[in-house]
Amino acid sequence: MSVVATDSFLERAPLLFRDWIVGHFPVALQWLVHHLLTITAILTVFGLFFAFTTIAERKLLARLQNRLGPNRSGLPWFRTLKLWGLTQPFADAIKAITKEDIVPAVADQVLHFLAPVVIVAFSLLGFAVLPFGRYLIPVELDAAILYFFAAGTATELAIFMAGWGSRNKYSLLAAMRALAQLISYELPLILSVVPVVLVTGTLSTRDIALAQGGWTWGVLPHWHVFTPWGFAGFLIFLVAALAESNRSPFDLPEAESELIAGHLTEYSGFKYALFFMAEYFGLTALSGLGITVFLGGWQAPCAFLEFIPSWLWFMGKLAGMIVFFIWIRGTLLRLRIDQLTRLAWQFLVPLALLNLGNAAFWALTSGWTGPLALARWAISAAIVIVPFFLLGRRLTAGYAPRTYRYAA
Amino acid sequence: MLGSGILKGLGVTAKNFVGSYHDPARMVTQEYPDTPAKLPEAYRNFPFLVTENATDPMGTLRCVACQICEKECPPQCIYIEKSKDKKPDATGKPQLYPAVFAIDTAVCMSCQLCVEVCPFDAIKMDHVFEVAATNRFEGLLLNREQLAKPNEYFHQIRPTEAAEVDGRLTAERQAAAEKAKAAAAAKAAAPKPTTPVAGVADPGPASPRPATPKPAEGGTAP
Amino acid sequence: MSFALLLIALVLLGSAAAAMLSRNLIHSALLLTGAWAGIAAFYLWAGAEFVAFAQVLVYVGAVSMVVLFAVLLTRQGATAAPVEFDSYKRVVGSIITAGGVGGVLLGAIFGTPLDVPAAPSPAALTVRQLGLQLMGPYAAALLIVGVILTVALLGAIVIAAVDKPEDPAP
């Protein structure tokens, strides 16, 4: 790694900018300004990221289905400028804010109000420990991964508050369903990350990202996803992350078409928008964790691409993950609740546990070289591929391959 | 294998995504106010009256004021007054014409029954997509002048049906002309050949119309 | 520093007291969850990062769900619990129980030699050291706890699983 490339001005630019602003304040207040600036930066960057994720989602979903997507909204006084509809999120925000906020008369007023606040607040907490760049990590915690998952669990509580506080049978039933789903998928989600902790021997996100540095011949990155156990873990993580953030094909908790939006039934206006904001924040944070843990964090994929600042690499990977999730949403159909829990308990959890053993094998055989290294790869791959086939056959027995009698 | 279907599905949507940028035929969206709406050929809303000639719409209405449509119309939105005199039609035969022909489009339910029953192919369903009026009584009551539209317009909006109708009319008129010719020839053969000019003069009133779009007239001219 | 502790203690005790006094069981459960979160905040204040996050993960995330599910699945009818005393026997019983538990706790607290200020507090353990300790000297304890939890889980499954009569083939 060349020092010049990794310590360039661009690499440190956000930090220098922050220090420049902090320098304007009296010394006694500097620590406060320092933290407030970090928080403001996260809120601004990821608030805008959320706004443009919504428009990207709508546009991409449209294109995946041969439609055009929103392309009308332009600027208020420049009617001729259409800007491909990119100002749509701001129009949506204005609409959500100006809508009437309806609270049912029998609802639990406190919990009904508290639920969207809690869910947004807790979904933002995860961003605190993500290393956005080589020097850009808001809070360096020793137990960052644990903190991340601990912060994420509170969203379940908020969903329960929303469902119960609405005093609506649909809301309550949907909230219970959502909780069943979230609890089911928390296990594979955490279990898919544990192998990485096992191999790198740390819970700190910064160290995990650093551990994936370096390249073989300058082009093959040492990311965890490029190992058998890492690849399997990444796939499990992807599925569990989709379920944890209520994304299609696991969007049963809201399921507009069958559950009249589930626990959001009694919400309107900006509170409704807050739930969606939290959903996207959760998705973004989980994607960020996935990138940090499996996709090399802020590391560049090739040595000669290191001149691009690391935080740009991170944001690029983040955008890639989000696009992938949107692609999934545009492709797959919603699962049934029994299929959902079956997938978690009969497929993902056993596979994740086996993968944990696989990672242990990988960590123990790190000394194998030459032909033994090939054997290491083969054994490690076999440990995940064979159970994948066996468990997959059991899971799909009676379902696949599907024959279509009437469709072409 | 578990997951192969997912990969296949992802492939399909990826193809859609790429295709939507370079293959306009894939797109289903019509950006309606910006581009005119593409209506299916069988689309229908209100009837219009077919005229043979755009330059003289009132003189060349196919309608002979037989009033069948007026009687058939379920919501009774058609009002017809017969003319007192007769005008020659496309074949030169003197026919009545509607002195008043009005359709209240506020009442019309677009059932197309008038089109089904018309023996003269004189009334057809229109493709008007945007209908607006400032007055809901007079504004939506369309009179003869507003209803009359040339045959070319009919060809434009419903090519297949118009071609079929024209083919039928041509054949009928040809047959009628041949019959008239044969009758004239028989007449000429029987007594004395003094009035063959009348047979030629018969389409005389039709000759001021431009003969180009009507193969029927080309058939009758000799 | 002590101001933060005071704040945490106030929130913790306040939510715990409110949880006891609330007539609404769901409110009580949620306030109890708040108290657990307060305990986590206390751990964090004390520098026990790992324990604090584990507390949130386990109590706020999982145990609260168990409590809420239990409340929702077992209660029938109105969710407002009566706060009147049922009988004097119950009152006396509850006071004796509370007094006994309180006495044991107080005895334990006062019986423990609190010589913390005497010894210089060791540097905060890193998570790595904690993990090595758990996997080294305390591995047996960890395994036993794991076995007990697994047995409990299996027992719950056995109790919950109802033998459904097989559908006769159509």
Provide, rounded to the nearest whole percent, the portion of chain C with pLDDT above 70: 80
End-to-end CA distance of chain A: 56
To the nearest whole number, what is the mean pLDDT of chain B? 80
Mean pLDDT of B193-221: 44
List the subunits that have 3+ CB pairs under 8 angstroms with B: A
Closest residue of B to A325, CA-based?
A: B10
Closest residue of A to B8, CA-based?
A: A331
Report C:95-124 residues touching A (Cβ under 8 A): none
Write out pLDDT tens, residues B156-184. 888 888 888 888 888 888 888 888 888 88
To the nearest whole number, what is the mean pLDDT of chain A? 85
The answer, yes or no, to whether residue B73 has pLDDT greater than 50, is yes
Query: B80 by DSSP, 3-state: which?
Result: strand
C127 touches chain A (CB under 8 A): yes
Provide, rounded to the nearest whole percent, the portion of chain A with pLDDT above 90: 11
Structural domain boundaries enclosing B135:
47-157
Separation between Cα atoms, residue C113 and residue A213, nearest integer Å: 50
Our count of domains for chain B comes to 1
- The confidence score (pLDDT) of residue B211 equals 41
Q: Which string of DSSP letters, residue by residue, matches B88-125?
A: E-TTS-EE--EEEEEEETTT-----HHHHH-TTS-EEE
Write out pLDDT tens, residues A28-84. 888 888 888 888 988 998 989 998 899 999 999 988 888 888 888 878 787 777 778
Q: Quote the pTM value.
A: 0.77
The answer, yes or no, to whether residue C104 has pLDDT greater than 90, is yes
List the subunits that have 3+ CB pairs under 8 angstroms with C: A
Determine which of A39-53, A342-356, C25-39, C104-118 has the lowest per-residue pLDDT on average. Answer: C104-118
Residue carrying structure tokens 């992802």 = B10
C18 touches chain A (CB under 8 A): no
Q: Are A142 and C56 in contact (CB < 8 Å)?
A: no
- The confidence score (pLDDT) of residue A323 equals 92
Whether A207 maps to a domain, the answer reads yes
Closest residue of C to A175, CA-based?
A: C69
Q: Are A179 and C65 in contact (CB < 8 Å)?
A: yes
Whether A176 maps to a domain, the answer reads yes
Helices (H) and strands (E) in chain A, counts: 15, 2
Q: Are A331 and B5 in contact (CB < 8 Å)?
A: no
Whether A310 maps to a domain, the answer reads yes
Q: What DSSP designation does B222 have?
A: -
**Which of the four pLDDT bands, split at 50, 70 and 90, describes residue B203?**
very low
Query: Which carries the bigger pLDDT value, residue A269 or residue B103?
Result: B103
The two tokens of residue C137 are 């000297």
Our count of domains for chain A comes to 1
- By Cβ distance, the residue of A64, A332, A393 closest to B16 is A64
- The confidence score (pLDDT) of residue A408 equals 61
Whether A38 maps to a domain, the answer reads no
Q: Are A157 and C57 in contact (CB < 8 Å)?
A: no
A236 CB neighbours in chain B (<8 A) are none
- The confidence score (pLDDT) of residue C147 equals 94
Whether B85 maps to a domain, the answer reads yes
Q: For position B53, which CATH number holds?
A: 3.30.70.3270
Separation between Cα atoms, residue B44 and residue A216, nearest integer Å: 69
Write out pLDDT tens, residues A227-236. 888 899 999 9
In this complex, does chain C touch chain B, defined as having at least 3 beta-carbon pairs under 8 Å apart?
A: no
Residues in chain B: 222
- By Cβ distance, the residue of A68, A330, A389 closest to B27 is A68
Residues in Cβ contact with A161 at an 8 Å cutoff, skipping those fewer than 6 apart: A111, A112, A114, A115, A118, C30
Establish whether this prediction's ipTM goes over 0.95.
no
Whether A12 maps to a domain, the answer reads no
- The confidence score (pLDDT) of residue B200 equals 45
- The confidence score (pLDDT) of residue B84 equals 87
Distance in Å, alpha carbon of C57 to nearest chain A alpha carbon: 4
Structural domain boundaries enclosing A231:
45-67+99-395
The answer, yes or no, to whether residue A178 has pLDDT greater than 90, is no
Whether A82 maps to a domain, the answer reads no
A335 CB neighbours in chain B (<8 A) are none
Whether A302 maps to a domain, the answer reads yes
